[in-house]
Structure 1
């Protein structure tokens, strides 16, 4: 392993045999060579670890642990990170070759930024492009102080398009292992309270997110009770609350609850749990009414009654319905 890696990419991996090698190949293909990759195998029961061992690159290390969840795996890797910057890349996703160079340059240029991020594309399990995506040039993200927009709704896909100052991630204690759902959003909120985020622009994408059916987060998202612990954790964070006046915080709490309620409704809708979806979406509308939410509820009802697709899975997420960022 290099003696002075500048970038550490932490790859939590659980049963991603057949996908982990393309992920690691995308790291090995980076235009910057001063990186280390720590793959944390979270108790996989398939050939994930065996596939990793076939690679002959001293910059890649394999750490194995009993199954403890993605947050524990990420935190394990964080404790071993040597680079100034750290990224959390899921074991089935794929980086653009320029990802490290562009993100690190943004952080080097902005001392006040705790993280840098870019855009992403979605791909099918086969690696083919996910259909119906919005062109990258049309993506809009906040830059600078992003705490309020982050509280209103997680605008990041996952850690695969975010580079973070390692010292800040460690000071925050990494991810909250008590949370089973939205643990990444809770971490991004704490991170955004620490400093600015640098958006590096729309093109090219930083990484490709592999969309696979049956994800654990999707299974948990269908139950509204699973969303509450994260909301309680963020709402109880004194550092975050101190950034806002009492009236503003009350509005933000309503917006956060509405965002999570809408997301839970979206998942229920895609699973054809129409009664639950309608109650949740109307609940979100009551908490924070927006014209786009009204339009989406009408479109969803037409789709339910006619079985014609007006609302795609891609465009039904709350961050697409809330205020444009």
Structure 2
């Protein structure tokens, strides 16, 4: 029977611990589960809640920090110093696993020793709403070459994983390390890509692997300075992956860097353009977003998003929110024409 170490960091979320720990220990028949709760010096009664759970179940251990170490240091402590099962999960105290999630993930990892980590679909839910029903009947799985998956992430320019739905092979985690302390907001993206550079990636199809709690603060994602910070953090994550990917040929690293930088430039310009659509140019750092795009991709002025931004600038902040549907429709039509023209020049069809 495979063993799974579940690390649950906690800071002021003691009232969620019973649900989180319970999801890792119940309805996971077929794997040997052990849980560590790490309380990062919570000022409330979170440590007491953790100790109550440990007293009630011998599979639960508790570690309490005397002083706050921060989330990344806490994650790495559990992942690199404590976890000793075949596989490891990092589960936030306010998230949950779905029934059978660990069993399904372990089955894939058992069957494919070349897979470094496996993930599935996460269900998002609001703190004040009941849990949505989870799909738990297996729909099979896919195993992708790690470098292929890595290239997909560079083409997309963003991650596709929230975190609680991931199960990692512990040996690979120890070999490649944990979260990069330089990346407080994008360390998870970097770590999954770093793993994919060294191992294949598994995906569980047609099932829900975790519940990801969306709090009110994160439900209304900021349209303001946070947009620029998000892009900067993502770029830092991709740069860090390439920094560590010494096993990739230099030509591949250069190509991947050019791919993601172009994508991030397009995203920055699109966010700047949307500020005009929404009448928020006073709040959104438009000039800084354009400067970020220029730093990522020197030929940014040739990107279609820059053309769209120029149109919006000519129309102006006051008028653009009213004309936005017409401009977006015209822009989409123009983009389709450009794609057709390029295809015709290449193929004559």
TM range (shorter): 0.7 to 0.9
Paired position in structure 1 for 2:6: 9
Secondary structure at the aligned position of 2:109 is classed as: helix
Check whether the contact 2:117–2:202 (CA below 8 A) recurs between aligned residues. Answer: yes
Residue 321 of structure 1 aligns with which residue?
none
Task: Please name the residue that 1:75 is paired with.
Answer: 76
Q: Structure 1 regions of 5+ residues with no counterpart?
A: 131-140, 310-325
Secondary structure of the residue that 2:52 maps to in structure 1? coil
Change (3 A) 1:147 1:262: farther
Aligned to 2:338: none
- Is the 1:6–1:34 Cα contact (8 Å) retained in structure 2? yes
Name the structure with the higher helix share.
Answer: 2
State whether residues 144 and 200 of structure 2, in contact with CA within 8 Å, keep that contact through their aligned partners in structure 1: yes
Superposition pairs of residues 1-325 of structure 1, within 5 angstroms: 6-32=3-29, 33-55=31-53, 56-65=56-65, 66-78=67-79, 79-128=81-130, 143-145=144-146, 146-152=149-155, 153-203=157-207, 205-214=208-217, 221-224=226-229, 226-227=233-234, 229-239=236-246, 241-242=248-249, 245=252, 248-255=255-262, 257-258=264-265, 261=268, 275-276=284-285, 280=289, 283=293, 286=300, 305=321
Aligned position for 1:323: none
Conserved 8 A contact 1:231-1:256: no
Pairs aligned (count):
289
Secondary structure of the structure 2 residue equivalent to 1:161:
coil
Change (3 A) 1:236 1:83: same
Cα distance change, pair 288–43 in 1 and its aligned pair in 2 (3 A): farther
Partners of 1:258 and 1:287 within 8 A in 2? no
Aligned-pair CA distance for 1:222: 4.0
Going from structure 1 to structure 2, the CA distance change for 1:230 and 1:248 (only over 3 Å counts) comes to: closer
Distance 1:74 1:13, change over 3 A: same
The 1-side partners of 2:182 and 2:4 are apart by 27
Cα gap change, 1:44 to 1:255, in 2 (>3 Å)? farther
What RMSD in Å do the two structures reach over aligned CA positions? 4.1
In the TM superposition, what whole-angstrom CA distance separates every residue of 1:85-104 from its partner, at most 9, and x where no partner exists?
00111111111011000000
Tell me the CA shift for residue 238 of structure 1. Answer: 3.6
Structure 1 residues 15 and 255 mapped into 2: Cα distance closer, same or farther (>3 Å)?
A: farther
Q: What SS does the aligned partner of 2:246 have? A: helix
TM-score normalised by length of structure 2: 0.69
Q: CA distance change for structure 1 residues 14 and 198 in 2, over 3 Å: closer, same or farther? A: same
Q: Report which of the two structures shows the higher radius of gyration computed on alpha carbons.
A: 2
- 1:5 Cα offset (Å): 6.9
Distance change in 2, residues 1:208/1:277 (3 Å) = farther
Question: Which residues of structure 2 form unaligned runs of 5+?
Answer: 133-141, 326-349
TM-score if structure 1 supplies the norm length? 0.73
